[in-house]
Structure 1
Amino acid sequence: MMANAVLFDLDDTLYPYSPCRDAGLEAARKTAREFGYDFDRESFEDFYQTGRTEVKRELSGTAATHERFIYFKRALEELTDESRPGDALALGDAFWEAYLEEMTLFPAVEETLETLQSAGIDVAITTNLTTRIQLAKVEKLGLEPYIDLLLTSEETGREKPGSVMFTLPLARLECRPSEAVMVGDDVEADILGANAVGLETVLWNADPDEPLEGRRAPDHRIDAFEELTEVVL
């Protein structure tokens, strides 16, 4: 198909997530040790997961469920039985500073976006997380010249696979679902959600052996990012 618009997920779709997460956690751990907390890598991971699990349970379906400052705030409260906002802020700042520093695009992403732009195809990013950090990621990756719209779940009050995360960017781009493609790595959030709205779907950077059926099945799977142009042009 010749698409009029392509919607992209951001995290683990345009750049690899895991190295950034690991760098962020290590920086936060070192900051915690400077503050007198005796964490090795294993115990710090347990500490982090304590806060993360609590936040995921209580705030599921909201952008705040991804917020590392809340993870650290809750984990510190659980660990110390005290409110330690300064420490939580320092750990969160250390995490995101190192995370952003580690970020780099997947191969061929910039060239593919340039090709889409040259073809007159609108490009949007629709992403689950808070707006400030996603803006910082877009800036760090140098994506601003290539995108026409960024939409976060904080703005809509709903997370993917909620339909508004697909219908709202399409409305702003004045594009019908049948004229658009969604590209993502997450079957539940990206593929299931976009299929339900009627977009053509492309699964990338996912387990190639996972069997997918029904609305969880993408229209296309790609093994290299540059293969996307064969789908949309």
Structure 2
Amino acid sequence: MSQNNYDQDSRTIKESLSTKTWFGFDLDDTLHSFRKASTQASSAVFTAIHEENPNIKIDDLKTSYRDILVSTTAGAFADGRTSTEYRRERFSLLLRAHGLEVKTEGLDRLLDIYKRSLREALTLKPGALHLLQCIKRRGKKVIVVTEGPQDAQLWTVEELGLRPYIDVLVTTNEIGKSKLEGLFPAVLERYGIFASDMVYVGDNEKRDVVPARGAGLLAVLYDEMGGCRFDDYAALRIDSLGRLEGLLE
């Protein structure tokens, strides 16, 4: 793409964004580095189990836990349970998978280790705070639409210091539908938002961009390795949140 075409496309996107009242975001791996944080927290749990049971290898615990995550998160947290209930279930399954006794005291300890490690590892994506501040300065509204337990996602935005800049935080846990099952239309209806009045940014094309676009939203894929693309409204892409902020200037 020539520089002239790139500049023209950028101006077109800027004009479109200027008409939006609502700026929507996914949370995990869009506004903060969830995979990194959760991996660190899980590793702390595996280490704790291994230290008490040296015959059980950490790599084996990782493999078992990965399988457990696949089987227990298929519903995208739409059944209304709390983060503690989800984690307690996973750690119970992990212990049982390795022939270990499941005791309340032991589970509570693992839950505490996980949460403390998660808190220590929470990291904002570069430019996330400045972007939300920029949006709010322009009198726009911020809505976070994300999959996960409501209590955990509220805790996360508070720990990250983002809560003052978020007007609405809504989760699959609250609505009872995953992003693939109609979460976006349900959110629009609940909060009285016109699809044409909202842009949504997420890191997962299948779970964020496609269903958001299907609900009539202007959708932008956040792909740190994929570069930027502004020439096709059906394939908008940014590689940094700072790039999106630049389109609002």
TM-score normalized with structure 1 length:
0.84
What displacement does 1:178 show?
0.7
Distance 1:185 1:19, change over 3 A: same
CA deviations over 1:47-94 (Å, ceiling 9, x no partner): 3124324324xx534446983332111122232275434333322331
Runs of 4+ in 1 over 4 A off after TM superposition: 230-233
Give the alignment partner of residue 160 of structure 1, picking from 171, 179, 186: 179
8 Å contact kept, 1:16–1:103: yes
Moved more, 119-128 or 17-26: 17-26
2:61 equivalent to 1:44: yes
Structure number with greater Rg is 2
1:170 aligned partner: 188
Does the residue aligned with 1:123 lie in a helix, a strand or coil?
strand
CA deviations over 1:179-232 (Å, ceiling 9, x no partner): 1001000111101110110000111135529xxxxxxx8541011212213556
Distance 1:151 1:162 in 2: 15
8 Å contact kept, 2:22–2:140: yes
Give the alignment partner of residue 144 of structure 2, picking from 122, 125, 130: 125
Distance 2:116 2:78 in 1: 20
Can you give the 5+ residue segments of structure 2 that lack an aligned partner in the other structure? 1-15, 228-232
8 Å contact kept, 1:201–1:220: yes
- When the two chains are superposed, the root-mean-square deviation of aligned CA atoms in Å is 2.7
Moved more, 132-141 or 28-37: 28-37
Distance 2:248 2:198 in 1: 9
Give the alignment partner of residue 87 of structure 2, picking from 45, 68, 76: 68
8 Å contact kept, 2:41–2:117: yes
| Aligned amino acid, residue 62 of structure 2 | E
Moved more, 10-19 or 169-178: 169-178
8 Å contact kept, 1:73–1:85: no
Distance 2:102 2:44 in 1: 22
- Taking the TM superposition and a 5 Å limit, the aligned residue runs for 1:49-60 are 49-56=66-73, 60=75
2:23 aligned partner: 6
